[in-house]
């Protein structure tokens, strides 16, 4: 489940503050409404549980306990624009957005210096370049414990055209 889907499922709107305690409160309220023992449906309860797990995992990956969705969306989009301005002109690259990370596939090593200068790093085990906002370091990704398929399944994925990045939907 994508983070935006999880936020919507638990009733968050853009600009809301997401905290561990608030996730638990919203989850409990939705459990009372959608639990099969209370007349709800199994599918909806599974969706609510998945949304809670996704958001708790998301917060666990961050050093801070509170995350403001409006400020983060704005700053991540600005950062995406900056990085895409630096690398979007490179021929043959494929850029994939997964959560707030960019994964970049190149046809060969000719773009290596430009990608490094733009702040991208090489993931040897995934054989892809990646870029992430500062402060989003995780050992799971760095040590290669997560495959790119698992990252896509957890955070969602969208291939973008660098020349049309102003219409990104995350």
Rounded CA separation 4/13 (Å): 10
DSSP state of 169: -
Structure tokens at 23: 């996730």
Per-residue model confidence (pLDDT) at position 34: 85
Q: Which CATH architecture has domain 3-60?
A: Orthogonal Bundle (1.10)
Strands (E), the chain: 17-19, 66-68, 94-98, 101-105, 121-123, 128-131, 158-160
What sign has the CA pseudo-torsion 142, 143, 147, 151?
Answer: negative
- CA 120 to each of CA 36, 59, 83: distance values in angstroms, whole numbers, following the listed order: 47, 24, 9
The torsion defined by the Cα of 151, 153, 159 and 160, in degrees rounded to 10, comes to: -80
Query: Which residues lie closer than 8 Å to 94 by C-beta, 6 or more apart?
Result: 104, 105, 159
Domain boundaries, the chain: 3-60, 69-167
Strand partners, 18: 67
Instruction: Decide: 97 and 170 in contact? Cβ < 8 Å.
Output: yes
Span 18-59, pLDDT tens digits: 778 888 999 999 999 888 888 877 778 888 888 898 888 877
How does pLDDT run along the chain (170 residues), one tens digit per residue? 677 778 878 887 766 677 788 889 999 999 998 888 888 777 788 888 888 988 888 777 654 434 555 544 445 666 777 888 899 889 989 999 887 788 999 988 899 999 999 999 999 889 999 988 765 656 554 555 788 898 888 778 888 876 654 433 33
DSSP state of 102: E
Q: What is the pTM of this model?
A: 0.54
Rounded CA separation 79/153 (Å): 23
């Amino acid at each position: 489940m994508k983070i935006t889907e999880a936020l919507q499922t638990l009733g968050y709107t853009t600009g809301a503050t997401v905290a561990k305690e608030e996730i638990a409160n919203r989850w409990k309220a939705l459990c009372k409404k959608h639990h099969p023992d209370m007349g709800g449906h199994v599918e909806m309860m599974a969706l609510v549980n998945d949304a809670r797990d996704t958001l708790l995992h998301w917060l666990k990956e961050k050093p801070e306990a509170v995350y403001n969705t409006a400020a983060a969306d704005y700053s991540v989009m600005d950062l995406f624009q900056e990085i895409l301005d630096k690398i979007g002109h490179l021929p043959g690259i494929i850029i994939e957005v997964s959560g707030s990370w960019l994964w970049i596939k190149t046809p060969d090593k000719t773009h290596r210096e430009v990608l490094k200068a733009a702040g991208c790093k090489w993931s040897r085990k995934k054989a892809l370049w990646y870029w992430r906002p500062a402060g989003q370091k995780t050992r799971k990704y760095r040590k290669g414990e997560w495959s790119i398929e698992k990252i896509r399944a957890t955070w969602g994925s969208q291939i973008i055209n660098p020349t049309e990045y102003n219409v990104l939907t995350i």
